Amino acid sequence: MSLVSLFLRLFTRFLCLFSVFMLWSNPSLAGKTLDIYKASTLVKNQSEAERNRAARATLGEVIVRVSGQTSALGHPLVQSAIPNAQHYLFGFSYHSTDARIQEGEKSLKAIALQLNYSPEGIEKLLRDAQLPLWPAQRPQVLVWPVVKDAAGTRFELAPEVLAALKARADYRGLPLVFPHNDIEDQLVLSADDAWAFKYTALQLASLRYKADAVLVLRYTPTSIGGVPPTNFDAVLEREPSGANPPKASVEQESLFLTAEEPAATADIPAPQGPWVGDWQLLQGDDHSAYRGEFTLLPDLFNRVADDMADAFANQYAIMPSDHGPRELVLRIEGVNHFGAFKEAQAYLAGLAMVKQMEVLRVTAEGLLVGLEIEGDTRLLVSTLALAKRMRPQDPASLIAWLNGQAATESSTPVSAEDEAELAAQLDALMGGEAGLADTSHSPAVTGPEPGSFENPIHYLWLK
């Protein structure tokens, strides 16, 4: 083995171990709080009529982003609100821009207008329409876009491609991050590895970005061929998480052998559609797979963003309830100084699904708080797990109680698959620390109802 090869292998192992250390020693991005009630557009002037026209054009965008549903635009109450969209504004501002507006044969200088919608007004509209509310804290998704065409297989990180991917995600209120594809990435993951869906390499390369979820997007013109199918269970069986890091390829070794500029490639005609795409959404051990064929690339990118947003909205959106708010009592340990007390109080009171929060007791060990929540307890647990500000002291018992509660409130029994899915989601959101992949031996819940004053749900505040 050459000295270069030995150095690369040792350096790759160091990077992998360092990434794991950083993941343990630093909290994850823990979601990203977005301004989901803001919209921006271009106007011809600063008149009230032009501003009202802009409000009518952008209210629907805000409704989709806040509800998490594109179908919300078709609701009769939303349709009747759009002509009076200006009534939902609480502020606006104008900014200069170099953009222009085309009006017939005329090109007019544009003015950028930012419209700030009232959260209370939008939430009341959604509640009246019995539409969900997806809170502003959204999971951040790392996207690995890899394309195979006549030029070969590569990560497609051209600015225009990333802008196209990001445009629809911004419309849906889903924050994306993209890999740097620098030497650190290339030592762990090649484009060929991503195309073949090398799961271990994807995991290792994604660690440094500390995203809440990972999307692997593979696409190719149908004239080139198809995207290889992925049997995810087989991938996990073939590449266990404890596998050794992938070796550096000959191409990666060459990075250390020469400092010359890469040779120019021959001009290759831009590939034309139709396109076939495959996108895999990974959140811990939770996995969703999608596939489709599209005439135009923007259609593919829009579908990818919509599928991601739909998946997360289904997981985190608050559905209005006819039963009124639920009351829960939490015991939060680890709140042992005034700063932590104020942080915990502000965090819980600021959650969209918390209608009222009351501190019932303060002890040397922590807090006892009473919450009135809109939505079910399972959603609260998922929301707390996403933020990673606090974690349950006994996750297995909490999962067992939540599944028992769901079975009591539904005429359909909770299946083993549903129970395992909830455990996997919580385990994934807690960074694998819950150890709940197997729920077959979850302890039975006895005694007073969890979440009551006599038996509060125990959480630990994370500093």
Q: Please tell me whether the overall predicted TM-score, pTM, comes out greater than 0.75 for this model.
A: no
The mean pLDDT value of the chain amounts to 79
Q: What percent of the chain stands above pLDDT 90?
A: 44
Contacts of 180 (CB under 8 A, 6+ apart): none
Question: Is the pLDDT at 230 greater than 80, yes or no?
Answer: no
Task: Measure the CA–CA gap between 205 and 187, rounded to whole angstroms.
Answer: 9
Residue 138: helix, strand or coil by DSSP? strand
Report whether 85 contacts 55 (CB < 8 A).
yes
Q: What does the pLDDT read at residue 407?
A: 46
Residues linked to residue 282 through DSSP beta bridges, in sequence order: 214, 287
Q: What does the pLDDT read at residue 315?
A: 87
In the predicted model, what is the mean pLDDT of residues 334-340? 83
When pLDDT is cut at 50, 70 and 90, the band that residue 428 belongs to is low
Q: For the ranges 256-260, 323-327, 356-360, 438-442, which has the lowest average pLDDT?
A: 256-260
Q: What does the pLDDT read at residue 233?
A: 53
Q: What percent of the chain stands above pLDDT 70?
A: 74
Please count the residues of the chain. 463
CA neighbor of 177 nearest in space, from 212, 148, 146: 212
Alpha helices for 360-415 (secondary structure H): 377-387, 395-409
